[in-house]
A and B are shown apart, each in its own frame.
Chain A
Amino acid sequence: MDLIDFPPPPAQDVEALRAEVRAFLAEELATRRPQDRARSWSGFDADFSRKVGARGWIGMTWPKRYGGHERSALERYVVLEEMLAAGAPVAAHWFADRQSGPLLLKVGSEEQRRTLLPRMAAGECCFCIGMSEPDSGSDLAAVRTRAVPVEGGFVVNGTKLWTTYAHHAHFMILFCRTGGAEERHGGTSQFLVDLKTPGITIRPIADLAGEHHFNEVVFEDAFLPSSALLGQLGDGWNQVVGELAFERSGPERFLSSFTLLVELVRALGPNPSEQAAVAAGRLTAHLLVLRRLSRSVAGMLQNGENPALQAALVKDLGAIFEQEIPDIARQLVDAEPSQRSTRDFSAVLAHTILNVPSFSLRGGTREILRGIIARGLGLR
């Protein structure tokens, strides 16, 4: 069955690059505490992102004329996974590198590419994703935010929800309605929204741990110039579906709890009990296989294939893995979770427990992914 056939990742010697990234991270993150590393790709640090950009590690696969580096998907993968494994604060450039940049390359105008891609690659331009709304989560085609054509552009009204780091971002890729509601897929478009535009209000939403990363973004008669239209008018649905393939396949889909696994191994020490060795070994086995699957998807992307189904499979398996790590860790180490603990294991465990519910929601819920897989199997 093609769906479960994951070709071997492309063979390329990337060890020199890996060593370079490791050395960079060892220096930059020398004082970063485990509980901060545990934030994984939610950690935000604009200075750090600029340094990564200066190294040439953002937009690695993009053409040089847009500030990219024309390196392979596998090289990019090495940089990503090393960053995540080290718990580097990558959020300031993550969305641009992962999806907004590739989207611009695919459907953006020449002007949009020339002005924005080099800034993204330098780690100086932060993006956020404006898809979800109060009444449109899994059912993305139900968005109600609307852009109405006016002289010289569009006027936007509506509310976007859960927009991660909108409060730090320079731009949002907005997915909204431009045609009739009855058209569903056909009447949608994407826009490149400068978040300084008048008529946009960004309000924080605290997550269950009291932390602020996502937001509500309200558009009230916000005027966007015609040049803000991204891709074709009315082609928003196809564009957004293509974007999701980039969003689902990467190593961030199974490494979100990796810091806890590291702290678990530290807490268990060199001579773990029988039970602990079995549990840690099993998790490591899962990690090896997930990494293989995910690198295979990176290879398919590099070959210009569309591995949307395979990406859904990897994300579903990855979320199960990320979510079971805290449950296993807490049974092996005698420690209660506490965000304030001075004991690394307890603090990292606390952070992870408080965040795992989101792992099977963000980027497409578990049920939606499984629906996509079922369609791939020919059941729907």
Chain B
Amino acid sequence: MKRWVLGEFGSPERLLEVARALRERGFVRLDAHTPFPVEGLAEVLELKSSRLPALGLLAGLGGAAGAYLVQWFTQAVDWPLNVGGRPLHSAPAFIPITFETGVLSAAGAVFLGLFVVCGLPRVTHPVFELESFRSASVDGFWISVAVEESTPPETVAEVLRTLGASQVSQVEGEE
């Protein structure tokens, strides 16, 4: 069972200030929920940069290599077919498929990777229990503080209220 205290703020600028203030007060297990990406938030929350581009590169190169290998194996080794005396291992003719397969693999890997690193798909989450949380995808800028079993959530809620949250709620459940 985990517990979060959530506070809603009116603007991305305010959200950034609050996130900074919370960090200064020693809160570390922070997250934000916003309707659009907020510049600078990742730096304040000290999120690690995404490794999806590297994954895409690896998958792309792997896919391209695999496609070339299949073409070479089928045309030059397993089923050699002499068409007008052209070379069996005809590299230029293999380039289009090699390239396209590389792109396809990179895109597929990044797409799947996105879901894995974001912990999606999931249809339920404790925060969805909150009716007011619906504003997080419309115009509400929420900050969420994960709290330990031992700390009373009221103290965190009080901090969020002093920082100007228009509403404060807490939820608990399995992440």
A and B from one assembly?
no
